[in-house]
């Protein structure tokens, strides 16, 4: 039957059976060949159908403006929760009070802290004024000392001039007395010579000797007066030096007191500035006893709850979702696909929870996807080793659903160039990179902000 032995076997007649007639009949081959022809024809046509190359990624819904993203409210100072004014889900406008807090640091417990600090500030301001008055008085004293020094120096210089004149006068008198003494000595010598010859009497000689004694006495008196006059000149000069030294000491002391007063005034001015800063800080800190909403939005969650619970500065107290925002999608792409993404490039988005039928290569026949454009590309890789890309609604496409919430997941499809399906299969098998197109707009497009 199987014809595996050398012995002849009887021939099996398949025509006697209906299954054999169906399998080995010529009509079956014709139908199968027709099926293969139609299948490969369809496959050939399919290979030439257009296919949009794309880059897929996972992301989540966010806002286009950074200041409209969900945020938390922190307190810049440590404190204790005293009273809540809102509940979760409430809508608050900018400046509305969310909760009241109290101080937990002992240096701020004084209820009259602002008043006492203000009094210290006023006292320091009065000290500054007092130092100003002292500086003015010392300047007046310094001017008076300068005037007095000039006056006394003028007096001493005048006295010096007089003594110099006295010296000149006494020197003339001294020279005259010296001349008179010399004449008297000469006359006495002549009288003595004549007396020895008997031509003069003793009385005349005695008169000449007496006259010599008188001229010698005048000479000694004139010499003493001359020396006294020179001493007076030296004393006058010493008096000028004494006046200079005396007033130099007084002026130096006054200038030192003036510099000390100015230094004390500068210190007081610095204390005034420091106390003014402290008072301003205390005033600002007193205004921080109420936590207010930084912008309008909805209270999402009270992170710190209860009454009497303490917290540190910078701790998150409550989270707010701002209103009047425009949605965007934050997605991530692989580094190998990063060079293919361009600003203004089109993309399709599939939101979590929204029914969709997606054909990544045929975005026009997909259902439930929404159009978007690339508005920002991160220049540095993120912590997940992917690059962040921000997508905004495409104004030329139908709007995104308003019911989509912030933070919900989204699947993104960045659209690249259109190629045949056969080329795409060949590219995928060979591992070649996709071909991307360059959008007309190279800058971030001006997208209208949609206000709810």
State the pLDDT confidence band at 12, using cuts at 50, 70 and 90.
Answer: low
Q: What secondary structure does DSSP assign to 240-291, as a single string?
A: HHHHHHHHHHHHHHHHHHHHHHHHHHHHHHHHHHHHHHHHHHHHHHHHTTEE
Shared-domain flag, residues 170 and 81:
no
Distances (CA, A) of 315 to 92, 232, 287, 304: 21, 90, 18, 9
| Helical (H) or strand (E) element with 300 | strand 297-302
> What's the pLDDT score for residue 126?
92
Residue 1 is predicted with a pLDDT of 47
pLDDT at 378: 87
Residue 345 CA to its chain's centroid (Å): 38
Cα 423-429-435 angle, rounded to 5 deg: 45
Q: Indicate the helix (H) or strand (E) that contains 415.
A: strand 409-420
CATH number at residue 237: 1.10.287.2610
* Distance in angstroms (rounded) separating the CA atoms of residues 153 and 389: 89
Count CB-CB contacts under 10 A for residue 292: 15
Same domain, 315 and 334: no
By CB atoms closer than 10 A (0-12, 13-18, 19+), residue 32 is: exposed
**Whole-prediction pTM value?**
0.55
pLDDT of 239? 85
Whether residue 332 is predicted with pLDDT greater than 60 in this model: the reply is yes
Residue 360: per-residue pLDDT = 52
Residues 88 and 228 in one domain: no
Report the domain count for the chain: 4
pLDDT score of 368: 59
Q: Could you tell me if residue 401 is inside a domain? A: yes
Mean of the pLDDT values across residues 385-401? Answer: 88
Confidence at residue 92, expressed as pLDDT on a 0 to 100 scale: 92
**269 pLDDT higher than 60:** yes
Are residue 121 and residue 263 in the same domain, yes or no? yes
Residue 372: strand pairing partners? 347, 393
Q: Report how far apart, in Å, the C-alpha atoms of 269 and of each of 121, 123, 130, 276, 280 are.
A: 10, 11, 12, 10, 16
Order of strands, sheet of 79-84, starting from the edge strand that comes earlier in the sequence: 290-292, 97-102, 79-84, 310-311
**What pLDDT, in 10s, does the model give residues 134-146?**
999 999 998 998 8
DSSP 8-state assignment for residue 180? H
User: Is the CB of residue 416 less than 8 Å from the CB of residue 435?
Assistant: yes
Whole-number Å distance between alpha carbons of 271 and 437 = 68
Task: Clarify whether residues 217 and 88 are in a common domain.
Answer: no
Residues 166 and 245 in one domain: yes
**Per-residue model confidence as pLDDT tens digits over 158-208:** 888 888 887 788 778 778 878 877 887 887 777 777 777 776 677 777 777
- pLDDT digits 0-9 by tens, 355-368: 655 555 545 545 55
Query: 122 and 90 in one domain?
Result: no
Q: Is the pLDDT of residue 128 over 70?
A: yes
Does residue 18 register a pLDDT over 50? yes
Paired tokens of 362: 């045929």
Task: Tell me what percent of the residues of the chain surpass a pLDDT of 70.
Answer: 80
Question: 183 and 38 in one domain?
Answer: no
């Amino acid at each position: 039957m199987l014809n595996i032995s050398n012995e002849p076997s009887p021939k099996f007649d398949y025509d006697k059976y209906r299954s054999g007639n169906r399998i080995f009949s010529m009509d079956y081959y014709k139908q199968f060949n027709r099926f293969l022809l139609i299948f490969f024809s369809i496959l050939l046509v399919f290979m030439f159908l257009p296919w949009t190359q794309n880059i897929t990624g996972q992301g989540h819904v966010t806002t286009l403006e950074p200041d409209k993203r969900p945020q938390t409210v922190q307190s810049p100072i440590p404190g204790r929760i005293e009273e809540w004014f809102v509940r979760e889900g409430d809508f608050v406008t900018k400046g509305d009070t969310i909760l009241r807090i109290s101080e937990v640091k002992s240096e701020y417990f004084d209820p009259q802290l602002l008043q006492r600090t203000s009094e210290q500030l006023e006292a320091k301001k009065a000290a500054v004024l007092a130092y100003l008055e002292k500086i003015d008085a010392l300047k007046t004293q310094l001017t008076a000392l300068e005037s007095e020094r000039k006056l006394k120096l003028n007096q001493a210089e005048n006295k010096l001039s007089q003594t110099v004149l006295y010296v000149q006068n006494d020197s003339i008198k001294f020279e005259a007395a010296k001349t008179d003494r010399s004449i008297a000595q000469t006359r006495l010598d002549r009288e003595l010579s004549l007396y020895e010859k008997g031509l003069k009497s003793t009385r005349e000689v005695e008169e000449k000797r007496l006259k010599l004694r008188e001229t010698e006495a005048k000479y000694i008196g004139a010499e003493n007066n001359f020396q006294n006059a020179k001493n007076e000149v030296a004393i006058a000069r010493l008096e000028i030096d004494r006046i200079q030294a005396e007033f130099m000491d007084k002026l130096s002391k006054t200038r030192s007191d003036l510099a000390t007063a100015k230094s004390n005034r500068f210190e007081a001015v610095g204390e005034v500035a420091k106390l003014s800063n402290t008072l301003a800080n205390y005033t600002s800190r007193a205004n921080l006893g109420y936590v207010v909403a930084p912008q309008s939005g909805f209270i999402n969650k009270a992170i710190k709850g209860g009454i009497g619970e303490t917290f540190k500065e910078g701790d998150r107290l409550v989270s707010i979702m701002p209103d009047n925002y425009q949605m965007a999608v934050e997605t991530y792409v692989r580094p190998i696909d990063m060079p293919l993404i361009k600003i203004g490039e089109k993309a399709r988005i599939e939101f979590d929870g929204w029914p969709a039928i997606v054909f990544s290569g045929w975005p026009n026949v997909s259902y439930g996807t929404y159009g978007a454009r690339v508005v920002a590309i991160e220049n540095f890789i993120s912590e997940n080793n992917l690059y962040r890309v921000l997508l905004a609604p495409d104004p030329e496409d139908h709007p995104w659903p308003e019911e989509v919430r912030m933070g919900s997941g989204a699947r993104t499809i960045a659209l690249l160039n259109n190629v045949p399906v056969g080329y795409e299969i060949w590219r995928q098998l060979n591992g070649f990179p996709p071909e991307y197109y360059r959008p007309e707009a190279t800058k971030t497009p001006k997208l209208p902000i949609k206000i709810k």
